[in-house]
Amino acid sequence: MARERPKNRTPKEETVQIVSRGFLHRNSLTLAAGMAALLVVAGCSKKAAPPPPPPPLTNNGPAPTATITATPGVINAGGSVILSWRTTDASDVSIDGMGAVPTAGTKTVQPTESTNYHLVAKGAGGSTDATARVTVNAGAAPTSNLSESDVSDSAFHQNVKDIFFDYDSYDVRADAQSTISSDANYLNQHPTLKVVIGGYCDERGSTEYNLALGENRANAAKQGLVTAGVSPDRLRTVSYGKEKQFCTEHDESCWQLNRRAQFSIDK
Q: If residue 74 lies in a helix (H) or strand (E), which one and from where to where? A: strand 74-76
pTM score, whole prediction: 0.59
CB 76 within 8 A of CB 110: no
The pLDDT value recorded for residue 141 is 46
Distance CA(128)–CA(134), nearest Å, equals: 21
Is the pLDDT assigned to residue 144 strictly greater than 90? Answer: no
pLDDT of residue 16: 46
Q: At what angle do helices 174-189 and 207-227 cross, to 10 degrees?
A: 60
Instruction: Identify the structural domains of the chain with CATH numbers, from first to last.
Output: 65-137 (2.60.40.10), 153-265 (3.30.1330.60)
User: What is the spatial distance between Cα 263 and Cα 187, in angstroms, rounded to a whole number?
Assistant: 11
- Tell me, letter by letter, the H, E, C secondary structure of 180-230: HHHHHHHHHHCCCCCEEEEEECCCCCCHHHHHHHHHHHHHHHHHHHHHCCC
Q: Which residue has the higher pLDDT, 208 or 40?
A: 208
Residue 241 has pLDDT above 90, yes or no: yes
In this prediction, residue 139 has a pLDDT band, given cuts at 50, 70 and 90, of: low
What's the pLDDT band for 57 if we cut at 50, 70, 90? low
Q: What is the pLDDT of residues 21-37, one digit of tens each?
A: 554 455 555 555 556 55
Q: pLDDT by residue (tens digit) across 173-208?
A: 988 988 999 999 999 999 989 999 999 999 999 999
Q: What is the mean pLDDT of residues 92-118?
A: 90
Stretch 258-264: mean pLDDT, rounded? Answer: 94
